[in-house]
Amino acid sequence: MPTATQAQATVGCGDDFVDAASRALASGDLDLVADADLQRVMTAAVRLYAAKAETDTPPAAPIAADLVTPTDIVTTVSDLIRAAGLNLWDVSMWFRRGG
């Protein structure tokens, strides 16, 4: 169980990244967030979400659906599948798993 100090440290821990991403998207200067930083954040987020999804109390939906487009989702998922060396047959084994 986290201590009060640890709980306070995690509150808003993604704010800096979200702010940087919002600035990059609003300005059109996508290089405001370095590819290496995006990769680190995406990797950590995917690993944490997957770990939480395997618990008895899975997390909320992985995205705020009203803030992304279907193209955003398909582009990201397709690149995640390719980056992991998977194919759609591999994904189909997990697709119906869980809720």
Res 3: pLDDT: 61
* Token pair 């990797």: residue: 43
Sequence ranges of the domains in the chain: 1-61, 63-99
**What phi and psi values does residue 61 have, to the nearest 5 degrees?**
-50, 145
How much is the pTM?
A: 0.79
CA–CA separation, 31 vs 34, rounded Å? 6
pLDDT digits (tens, 9 = 90+) for 7-66: 556 667 899 999 999 999 999 999 999 999 999 999 999 999 999 988 999 889 999 999
For residue 31, what is the enclosing H or E element?
Answer: none
Q: How confident is the model at residue 93 (pLDDT cuts 50, 70, 90)?
A: confident
Which residue has 């979200």 as its token pair? Answer: 18
Q: Which pLDDT score, from 0 to 100, does residue 95 have?
A: 76
What is the per-residue pLDDT for 72? 97
